Amino acid sequence: MRELKLAPSIFAADIGDLKKQIRILEEQNADLLHVDVMDGHFVEKMAFGPDHIKMLKEITNLPLDVHLMIERPERKLDEMIHAGADIITIHQEATARLYSCIEKIKSSGRKAGVVLSPATNEQSLKYIMDKIDMILLMTIHPGEDGPGFHEELLEKIQNVREMIGDREIDLEVDGGIDQTNIGRCREAGANVFVSGGYVFQGDISKNMQRLREELGE
């Protein structure tokens, strides 16, 4: 099993108090900072961009785990790379040029990953598996509010973990992750956990500690 990692999502942070909240995450040994980039097309919402990534890079040493929820991500990869993204994950559903996107990210020295929305079959990963560093499975539909974590996707996590085998690939989950389900995601095979609403609601330190406890750390 690969190292367990917590990746708080700054989409849920208080932007007016961002520096303070990031300092707390650093004190709590967050492993990654998850940054959602939304274009208002692939998903209805809009959030963050290259300028925000550059700003984050200037105020924290936490690796930036940048999740592109945008149409035709190939048009924006250079900007994301130059802004300082450490890991870039792109939706398989968003581009017909997945191979070239992965190759561009990797050639820049960054880590590359593929994201699957809940209804996307995991078998679509078969021909890209040996080219990537991370797989991100969405446990809610990207960019949408509403019902939380979909428990039926635990089977999908298990299936992808089996597909990964002994490859050096992180398996990340995102969508409604909190203290009630993070342990089951770990048992299913995930090792990187994105949590936004739960982490930033109330006491960030206590929430991070609770998630670590539920992971058995």
Looking at the annotation, which residues are catalytic? 36, 174
Cβ atoms of 176 and 195 within 8 Å: the answer is: no
SS3 content of the chain, % helix, strand, coil (to 5): 40, 20, 40
The letter for the amino acid at 143 is G
Burial of 185 (0-12, 13-18, 19+ CB in 10 A): buried
31 phi and psi, to 5 degrees? -90, -35
Burial of 215 (0-12, 13-18, 19+ CB in 10 A): middle
What would the DSSP string read from start to end of 23-42?
A: HHHHHTT-S-EEEEEEESSS
Q: Would the CA dihedral through 172, 66, 86, 209 be positive or negative?
A: negative
